[in-house]
Structure 1
């Protein structure tokens, strides 16, 4: 087996394991994510606690496993929000005419002028903390990229013969866009979104690290790293394992994207 194929299989295995953790964490660990043990504070990794325990005696492995649901769901929701709104705006900009294109693209240019994390931080500061609010904030930050990519693909597709034939047959513009333009322009956008889930998850974890995520003691990888800041010198595992979960997820998503050719489209 080649190293490239082995890396792809490892990435698939990591994401499959994380999916099981998110859907049915009870199959992976019998411990609760919030069960504290004052007698077992900051215990190093062992057979009883593979990832050690945190500052109040909670099992870090159990919290990482249960945190997969929140972290993965937030990244997926953020990508879905950014993709849906961006694809809609990009389709309108590329198909509706110069006036709509000029207005929407100026909005996109304005949003792209801000660093994505800074824009997401501003939005979540306005609408409030929480999982759904973080997903919306990250989706807003990603909206411009999906809108610009969709517009470019729509401009490429709208001059094709089958689109001209649909116009000649008298179909209304919105129906042409829905039936003929968007289905043939969406593949590169979906490919970017598949890779963007990891980026969204990283941004979401960053906002949780800054204190805008689910309030403690809810298990969330970014929040777990933030909560462990004061104990890193004494108990490295409290921050290392949730941080490694974030890194492993992002690298696995990108590896699968490269292995299946999504990044090359």
Structure 2
């Protein structure tokens, strides 16, 4: 093969690879307290992979610094940068690249910052940014409210009673902000459900203005039997609350009837 043929072959392969549509898979960010905190989640990562859901791991290296791959991510100080990595995003920028944020363990300090709208730590800044952008934030609910490092240093596993009550109040307030809680062993299952609902919403979505004046249907699980039981769909549209699940048979039936679905908050 001469040089011209080789160049032509390489160019053809490049063009063919560029024309192949890339699958847009959901991608979530897990934030762990240290580089060993993720080890007990290996089975959940396998479950996510089997359902076509990607994930990245961010390891905290203190309260104001963390590692995402080879990039050191730092919080900013009062008007100045503590440290910088020219290729690393700021904590506030991270949620832009992900469909959701997962924090398997949160502590009293960060919970207090979140409910007070304060920044200054990696977790607090990422949660603030995700909520502002409307991205889901999933937090482990079966946690003691103490940092892993504090538990190791103080040789205790639980907060004293008054601090426990304070932590539970913060949990209630975080839920009011839109943060969702689930058992640590169920985090992957929650992500899978949310990703499936989001994919359904994308596949069946209507422009927002088309839903004006229509009230969302009061169903969380929409089945084919429910669709058959409805006598009429105004303007051939169905409005559902975000998070509602539509069964595969119901999706086929709605498409057959020419009914478009839109999800709203």
TM class by shorter chain equals: under 0.3
Higher strand share: 2
Q: Which has the larger radius of gyration?
A: 2
TM-score by length of 1: 0.23
TM-score, structure 2 as length reference: 0.23
Greater fraction helix: 1
